Structure 1
């Protein structure tokens, strides 16, 4: 297929360039019991602010590559828990901990790196690699692991959701975290914090099309989920809440550009448009640069070579460059 196209479809959105019929991959052998997991919840009253503040550096720079600690921040009504928080609601920080190894070693690492979280041996569960996939996909209980994967159903498969994203390059202050908790108490969505670092940061920014590497502490996902049976007004309110939080976070996240995670496709960032029958894009000056940074221009060059007529396209595909769809950078037309 050519080196450039192979570069583009690994992290640049293969749907922009064609239909991938098969991948040839190299497998890695793992032992039958290879991973240890723990899910811990800590409320605002149990020190959620201090714990999340420390998590920002511990989970991204101080733990080995084999250990991943993800945090979801959500709110529960007072009837859903024994302890109430401010405004009659509870802030809940849910830590999802995954370790490539046995639980005894996980306990040692957590005691050394993040003892404040208070993880205990009874909190750990060992499982196979394939079971870990089910665990992180939040599949419903009561179905054996392989059947869970074959059913292709998770908690998100029967609902509608909106997700926006940001990358954080500097730790948020405790005051900023408190402001986030306050907004969450007044709204209904989940604040997902996924640590970067490790192998992700070890790969150079231009090695593959996905550019968000070294320099990022973690990824934020602003996730609102609702039932399709809700009224149009209620569904619109979910969207408003997520967008308000996104606007609130502007001073605290990456900028110039404000980076975004391509997997969390966000049409608020911009869309391809039709003009006189031709497809136009502002991709490398708006959403394309947010998703792919300086790699966006190379992606457009690859697109121009393999699909110059933009046969494969949607609202946010990479588009070919031609006379009717010029691209500017720093005030000058880009030519290849």
Structure 2
């Protein structure tokens, strides 16, 4: 363990992803103690915190939108899992044990070093910690084929309020149900997950296509809302909207960007897209064939502003995403009407802070899993997930736009 202001702690990169929670206007207290420790020290920290009437915050990757893993309004102890990062991949049984302090980027990289035809359905930002990501559900580009990260979690190690280290059998099925989508930190400190790996083809296709309002973006967005959740489950086409400078005299306009991973080659993808989503106008030149791990690097690059053709080792960089932002999630059951889209565009035009909206299609496997299977209820009937976000530049920000 180490005190917050000790020399040892100040030399360690702090996992604060959204700098807005370090600003003076945020009501908060600094942690009384930061515990960066092994499992036995976590057990001792829990017991000592109870004796001194201190709350506990658990930080894995530090990506939670409200900063709940590193700020509080009451005295608290911060348990940082950054040194619990061991990953054991079992190719023969298509499973892996991953400690909760590991990032999903580190997990993806470890899988790719053992197999070219196994993957895992989790998020696209490599610096997200597995501890919080899996316990919140964990959606990504493979969810239309395989569901959420939490749907593919088969065991866990958790330290309960009494300091007991429990596996799935020891904690019981009710608690194991609750920590997969219900927020693991609500029930104890998760220190490791056992997951099922999923088969992926040796060749995967990705694309990123942008259309502005002058290029009929509004009509394409409307069509996307109708078809994205009904496409072949191997296809996941995400759509984002933001304000950009138009090529026409530098005027501001709204751009819709369509980003996709397809579990197959480009010769399979193009006919499927032409049949179900011809409005996008996808052509072979828009597409890149790569490996599954290559597709992960490509998608992560969009967040950090890199080229997307880096080696998989880029996924091991735990400090590539640090920015000032505010995010909020929503879920849609019906397409947004044209009037609503116009209002959304107007908001993106007028907002002085950089605003963006991301739409993630559901359907496929997500329609097949019961809303009560785990505490993540957004299943059949939901056509997309929406992420509203605003961001701004501060000193030390490192993420792309």
Shorter-chain TM band: 0.5 to 0.7
The partner residue of 2:388 within 206, 222, 227 is 222
Tell me, yes or no, if structure 1 residue 108 matches structure 2 residue 271. Answer: yes
Q: Is the 8 A contact 2:297 2:309 kept in 1?
A: no
Residue in 2 aligned with 1:39? 208
The partner residue of 2:334 within 142, 148, 170 is 170
Q: Is the 8 A contact 1:56 1:171 kept in 2?
A: yes
The partner residue of 1:208 within 374, 380, 390 is 374
Residue in 1 aligned with 2:228? 59
Q: 1:84 to 1:195 in 2, by over 3 A?
A: farther
Q: CA deviation at 1:222?
A: 0.8
Tell me, yes or no, if structure 1 residue 20 matches structure 2 residue 190. Answer: yes
Q: CA deviation at 1:146?
A: 2.2
Tell me, yes or no, if structure 1 residue 132 matches structure 2 residue 302. Answer: no
Q: Which runs of 5+ in 2 are unaligned?
A: 1-170, 397-401
Q: CA deviation at 1:28?
A: 2.7
Q: Is the 8 A contact 1:12 1:210 kept in 2?
A: yes
Q: Supply the distance in 2 between the matched residues of 1:165 and 1:29 (Cα, whole angstroms).
A: 29
Deviates more, 1:125-134 or 1:109-118: 125-134
Q: Is the 8 A contact 2:240 2:257 kept in 1?
A: yes
Q: Supply the distance in 2 between the matched residues of 1:39 and 1:151 (Cα, whole angstroms).
A: 23
- Which SS does the other structure have where 2:206 is aligned? strand
Residue in 1 aligned with 2:286? 123
Q: Supply the distance in 1 between the matched residues of 2:263 and 2:272 (Cα, whole angstroms).
A: 12
Report the structure, 1 or 2, having the larger helix content.
Answer: 1
Q: How does 1:1-336 map to 2 (within 5 A)?
A: 1-33=171-203, 35-61=204-230, 63-77=231-245, 81-83=246-248, 88-138=251-301, 139=304, 140-141=306-307, 144-154=310-320, 157-187=321-351, 188-229=354-395
Q: Is the 8 A contact 1:84 1:90 kept in 2?
A: no
Q: Which runs of 5+ in 1 are unaligned?
A: 231-336
Q: 1:95 to 1:6 in 2, by over 3 A?
A: same
**Cα root mean square deviation, aligned:** 1.9
Count, aligned residues:
221
Q: Is the 8 A contact 1:40 1:96 kept in 2?
A: yes
Q: CA deviation at 1:75?
A: 0.6
Q: 1:190 to 1:215 in 2, by over 3 A?
A: same
Q: Supply the distance in 2 between the matched residues of 1:141 and 1:147 (Cα, whole angstroms).
A: 14
Q: CA deviation at 1:215?
A: 1.2
Q: CA deviation at 1:143?
A: 7.2
CA deviations over 1:150-193 (Å, ceiling 9, x no partner):
11344xx1211100121111111112111111111111211111
Normalising by structure 1, report the TM-score: 0.62
Q: Supply the distance in 2 between the matched residues of 1:56 and 1:159 (Cα, whole angstroms).
A: 30
Q: 1:170 to 1:142 in 2, by over 3 A?
A: closer
Residue in 1 aligned with 2:157? none
Report the structure, 1 or 2, having the larger strand content.
Answer: 2
Q: Supply the distance in 1 between the matched residues of 2:395 and 2:341 (Cα, whole angstroms).
A: 33
Q: 1:31 to 1:97 in 2, by over 3 A?
A: closer
Higher relative contact order (CA closer than 8 Å, sequence separation 6+)? 1
Q: Is the 8 A contact 1:75 1:185 kept in 2?
A: yes
Q: Supply the distance in 1 between the matched residues of 2:385 and 2:193 (Cα, whole angstroms).
A: 27
Q: 1:153 to 1:108 in 2, by over 3 A?
A: farther
